[in-house]
A and B are shown apart, each in its own frame.
Chain A
Amino acid sequence: MKPALQPAVPGEPSYGAAITWYESTARQRIAGLLDRGSFNEFVGPMQRETSPHLAMFDLPAQFDDGMIVGRGTLDGNAVLVAAQEGRFMGGSFGEVHGAKLTGLLRAARDTQSSAVLILFDTGGVRLQEANAGELAIAEIMRAVYEARLAGVPVIGLVGGRAGCFGGGGLIAACCSALAVSEAGRISVSGPEVIETHRGIEEFDSRDRALVWRTTGGKHRWLCGSAERFVDDSIGAFREAALALLAHHAAAGLDSLLREQARLERRLVRFGDCDDALHIWRAMGAGLPAALPELDYAGFMEQGAPIREASDDAR
């Protein structure tokens, strides 16, 4: 089999240099995350497996359909990797895009050989292929959990421009563990959709501060919806991925029971709060309004003592 060569982009900084995760393309994230030169892509752009549906809408295709899958190493450890390109069609799940991730996860389940890293960057289902996208997400949720039941850790990394919305948010919550940066938003219904359905009084989608404190990485980490909060750098995500590979929730009845307890406790503690600021105050934050403005170190210092633990309950 002809080895796949890792494509180089001139001017691309080397791994760990001052390029943010948020600003990176999916391919740059993979290149920076994995051991140099270790990535071997499956069904890559040369195969030209594009979406058969976009032309009907006069939309351009991308050769990898916005999903890059392959194998590499992370500090010498073999990993299977999937990365979404958030700038193509909002990183949305289409028929081909989703099928690549499904195949990767089922292979991981059946060979039990590697961990899986999923680099989320998605607005959810690609509406032009809505039924295929939704089905793919359902298949992926099942494949993630079955891989975990087979002993394969599935680690999710969230920090891209498109966030982790809709069905992407459900897949993320099926993972063994999540690392999230401040820019990484996770939610089911997008802010605009809530505003359209319930009105601006319910949710002003253009209030960025509101969106970030409701769905952003800081809030998710404080609530225990993500295991790790990381700075917006490829190096930080790499470190977090390694740490989570070493320590994460095992799937099964035990962790599901603990997750049920964790989720019920959240409803009891915070179910009557009407804003993240109230939740953070209830957690014991001295100055909740200051939390969004704090830099990484400052936020970790304030947040670590008060946050809800994820407790390997996932």
Chain B
Amino acid sequence: MTLDEILQSLFPHGCQLDGHDGILYGQATRTTGDAVQIIGVTNGVAPGVDEAARLSRYLLDVLERGQREPIVVLVDSSSQRMSKRDELLGLNEYLAHLAKCLIYADACGHPTIGLLYGTTAAGAFLATALATRTLVALPGAHPEVMDLPSIARVTKLPIETLEQKAQTNPIFAPGLDNLARTGAVHQIWDPQIPLAPQLESALAAQAAHGGDVRDQLGLQRKGRLKAAHIRASVYRLAADAG
């Protein structure tokens, strides 16, 4: 699906979006008649300090108005922008600040839904899709932490070796299936049926149970077999009044 098709299907009553060079922000009306806010990193853009600041500015305006609308985060990005200038200016703060705005929005009553429909990687992934409470994806989306050739270079392993290991273990290789199995992606939507009702289902499901359940998803799907147990063990020991 193209971005326009996605927007049409998500918001059949239309949407008003602003932005430039792949960065989007604006709002739409749900089929329920309620408003929904939208931000997006689209067109394979690599968000840097400027892009992150623009999006967080929009989110803060939304938060200040306190209407508690859901926030949909559209993601088809590259990795974070890799440049001297971005690191010089403290890219980590800009990306974290964007994530904090999304996390805070969730904490104060704005449900956050990420929709990954293209690519994303590394720091961009963390600041956008992974900062939402529920992350859904369309088939064909391609999230990654790092591309396989780069992993091969850094780990000094032949790429064929990595490809072979990736066949039996979802823990490092890129791809939607692996990120779903490890618990990052909650659900893969069906592009053959309208997206608007699928959005409404996702919002309802989120309302039904709170908290960050990704490590439990990873356990259920056998993608991360230890994380949930370790987290729970440390939690119990740390929470013990002792």
Residues from chain B with a CB closer than 8 A to the CB of A85 are none
How far apart are the CA atoms of A104 and B57 in the complex, in Å? 31
Q: How far is the CB of A8 from chain B (nearest CB, A)?
A: 22
Contact pick for A214, options B57, B84, B101, CB 8 Å: B84
For residue B49, which residue of chain A has the nearest CB?
Answer: A267
B232 at the interface (CB under 8 A from A): yes
For residue A133, which residue of chain B has the nearest CB?
Answer: B145
Of the listed stretches A16-24, A27-35, A253-261, A281-289, chain B binds A253-261
Contact pick for B212, options A139, A186, A253, CB 8 Å: A139
Contact pick for A80, options B170, B173, B232, B238, CB 8 Å: B238
Would you give the 0/1 interface string for A129-145, flagging 1 where the beta carbon is closer than 8 Å to chain B? 11111111111011101
Would you give the 0/1 interface string for A196-207, flagging 1 where the beta carbon is closer than 8 Å to chain B? 111000110000
Q: How far is the CB of A205 from chain B (nearest CB, A)?
A: 11
Contact pick for B224, options A95, A252, A274, CB 8 Å: A95
Q: How far is the CB of A148 from chain B (nearest CB, A)?
A: 9
Of the listed stretches B8-16, B68-76, B124-132, B194-202, chain A binds B124-132
Q: How far is the CB of B107 from chain A (nearest CB, A)?
A: 6
A interface, over-half SS: helix
How far apart are the CA atoms of A135 and B233 in the complex, in Å? 18
Q: How far is the CB of A266 from chain B (nearest CB, A)?
A: 6
How far apart are the CA atoms of A103 and B85 in the complex, in Å? 35
Assuming the A-B contacts A71-B242, A214-B88, are A166 and B182 also in contact, with contact meaning beta carbons closer than 8 angstroms in the complex? no
B interface, over-half SS: helix
Assuming the A-B contacts A187-B87, A197-B82, are A103 and B92 also in contact, with contact meaning beta carbons closer than 8 angstroms in the complex? no
Contact A131 B179 (CB under 8 A): yes
A193 at the interface (CB under 8 A from B): yes
Contact A260 B53 (CB under 8 A): yes
Would you give the 0/1 interface string for A62-91, flagging 1 where the beta carbon is closer than 8 Å to chain B? 000000010100000000100000000000
Most buried by A among B122, B172, B179, B225: B172
Residues from chain B with a CB closer than 8 A to the CB of A110 are 239
The 6 closest A-B pairs by CB, nearest first: A103-B234, A173-B96, A169-B92, A107-B238, A138-B130, A130-B145
* CB<8 Å pairs between A and B, sample of 14: A53-B171, A56-B165, A57-B165, A99-B226, A102-B231, A130-B146, A130-B151, A133-B145, A135-B184, A135-B227, A141-B103, A142-B103, A194-B82, A279-B88
- Seen from chain A, the residues whose Cβ lies within 8 Å of a Cβ on chain B are 40, 42-43, 49, 52-53, 56-57, 69, 71, 80, 95-96, 98-100, 102-104, 106-108, 110-111, 113, 125, 127-139, 141-143, 145-146, 149, 166-167, 169-174, 186-189, 193-194, 196-198, 202-203, 214-215, 219-220, 223, 225, 251-253, 256-257, 259-260, 263-264, 266-267, 270-271, 273-276, 279
